Amino acid sequence: MKRATLTLLIAIATTVVSFPCHPVWADQALGAQQLVEIAVEMNPQIKSMRAQWMAAVHSIKQNYAPADPIVTYLNVDSPKNPFSGATEHSYAVSQSFQFPGEALLQADQARRSAEIARFSYAAAVRDLRAQVETAYYQTVLDDALWQVGQELLASLGQVLKVTQIAYSANQVTQTDFISAEFDLTNQRLAQDQLRSARANDRTNLNQLLYREPDAPLTLDENLKPAALETPVDRLIDLAARVRQEILEAALTEKNNQTALALAKMEYLPNYTVGYEFDHFQVASAAPTATALQDHSIFVSINLPIFFWIKQREDVTRASYDLEAARENQMSIRNSTAAMVTTLYRNAQTSYRAAAVERDTLIPLARQNFRVALIAYQAGKIDFVTLAAALQNAYNARVAYLQSINQFLAAEVALEQAIGEPLPR
């Protein structure tokens, strides 16, 4: 009985998640990468962002096209009604043009806007990847926590039998037996909560995959986290080059530079070119008695005489927009560097904590429980001390899982802050 109890209680320290190296996924189970691919393919929000990107791409070429020409027909000087007996028939066509160069700048703006839409799509994929990976890791680690709880539940059942036998032999008081029964019942309640949490984890993951809440999902639970070896300075430089928000801010700044140039070009006149053909139906209305037709051409330009309230204000506004875009880009760069540094530090701290818990605290808690079990059976310690030793063994295992969870969460957040998976 003693040996069986000892074996079951020590089993608490058996790890469900092993520690260092890259993930290795089983053939039939879904790992993080496979789940991300499914989510990107099925998630409607990602499809929407891609459609917006494509819409922006198809808004570029139209900037090169001038305004539609205007065709005019006039039935002039009809004495009786507007539709017959006219003195003159006039046909005209006119075409408006921007000042040369404006269309090119506007197309450049549209092209950058399409690039910004592409980066927004990439950012949405990046954020979805982070959500899926976080949900996946949480599901796997909650499964591991539930398994540890099951081992504790079995161990508490054995402890209850030991205390029952000892109480029947008048070796311990009834308090020990009642306390053991209380601990067992309390752990059963905790396991019921963990069972619900595991189901909710899978529902959350199914939502990200755009599946039914209770759709069956087989996951690869063989997690092997790897330490971060890339220096934080290199990660900050990488984030400055690839983070979507930084690239979007840079393009926005360039677009605002172009907008400032376009605002200044408002001082330059746009113009309209037209051609008119007149066919006179009455000779007396014609320029000469023998010339019943004539041709005309015209050019008109706009005069920015209200520049002091329109164009100048546009230039001033565009200047402030450009300044705001520059400051915004600098702010995003600064906040990204701080975010990467903080998350990197948190990940390293969690990894070190998990290593200490795996290599030191769990073995110590296991050894402490073995000593406490022997001492309790010899009557040298009370049940409270034995229960504390058992709880410490359980807490050490749970703390290990929590440290792994915190490390993986920080790693996912770090990849999200950088804008792409970490270099390995």
Q: In angstroms, how far is CA 199 from the centroid of its own chain?
A: 24
Torsion sign across C-alpha atoms 37, 39, 41, 46: negative
Per-chain mean pLDDT for the chain: 85
Contacts of 281 (CB under 8 A, 6+ apart): 86, 87, 88, 89, 292
> What is the pLDDT, as a whole number, of residue 23?
37
Q: How far apart are CA 121 and CA 115, in angstroms?
A: 10
Q: pLDDT for 224-246, tens place per residue?
A: 788 888 899 999 999 999 999 99
> What is the pLDDT, as a whole number, of residue 25?
34
Read off the tokens for 311: 């164009």
> What is the pLDDT, as a whole number, of residue 107?
92
Tell me if 141 sits within 8 A of 404, measured CB to CB. Answer: yes
Q: pLDDT for 319-364, tens place per residue?
A: 999 999 999 999 999 999 999 999 999 999 999 999 999 999 999 9
Q: How far apart are CA 186 and CA 177, in angstroms?
A: 14
Is the pLDDT reported for residue 138 higher than 50? yes
Where residue 28 falls among pLDDT bands split at 50, 70, 90? low
Read off the tokens for 63: 């900037």
Where residue 18 falls among pLDDT bands split at 50, 70, 90? very low
The stretch 249-275 carries a mean pLDDT of 91
Burial of 61-77, coded b for 16+ CB within 10 Å and e otherwise, reads eebeeeeeeeeeeebee
Q: pLDDT for 380-397, tens place per residue?
A: 888 888 888 888 888 898
Is the pLDDT reported for residue 15 higher than 50? no
The stretch 124-146 carries a mean pLDDT of 92
Is the pLDDT reported for residue 4 higher than 50? no
> What is the pLDDT, as a whole number, of residue 149?
87
The stretch 137-156 carries a mean pLDDT of 87
SS3 222: coil
The stretch 148-156 carries a mean pLDDT of 84
Is the pLDDT reported for residue 12 higher than 50? no
Low-confidence winner among 183-187, 293-297, 409-413 (lowest mean pLDDT):
183-187
Read off the tokens for 390: 């058992």
> What is the pLDDT, as a whole number, of residue 6?
34
The stretch 366-370 carries a mean pLDDT of 84
- Mapping DSSP onto H, E and C, the string for 336-400 reads HHHHHHHHHHHHHHHHHHHHHHHHHHHHHHHHHHHHHHHHHHCCCCCHHHHHHHHHHHHHHHHHH
> What is the pLDDT, as a whole number, of residue 1?
35
Low-confidence winner among 15-19, 65-69, 195-199, 319-323 (lowest mean pLDDT):
15-19
For residue 273, what are the β-bridge partners? 95, 299
The stretch 116-133 carries a mean pLDDT of 94
What Rg, from alpha-carbon coordinates, does the chain have? 38
Is the pLDDT reported for residue 205 higher than 80? yes
Is the pLDDT reported for residue 65 higher than 90? no
Task: Output the pTM of the full model.
Answer: 0.78
Low-confidence winner among 36-45, 67-76, 257-266, 364-373 (lowest mean pLDDT):
364-373
User: How deeply is 382 buried, as exposed, middle or buried, from its count of CB atoms within 10 A (0-12, 13-18, 19+)?
Assistant: middle
Highest mean pLDDT among 19-33, 235-249, 368-382: 235-249
Is the pLDDT reported for residue 177 higher than 50? yes
Contacts of 233 (CB under 8 A, 6+ apart): none
Identify the structural domains of the chain with CATH numbers, from first to last. 2-67+98-272+307-418 (1.20.1600.10)
Q: How far apart are CA 68 and CA 102, in angstroms?
A: 17
Is the pLDDT reported for residue 69 higher than 80? yes
> What is the pLDDT, as a whole number, of residue 17?
40
Where residue 86 falls among pLDDT bands split at 50, 70, 90? confident
Secondary structure (DSSP) of 53-76: HHHHHTTSGGGGS-PPPEEEEEEE
CB atoms inside a 10 Å sphere around CB 152:
25
Q: How far apart are CA 162 and CA 152, in angstroms?
A: 15
Where residue 375 falls among pLDDT bands split at 50, 70, 90? confident
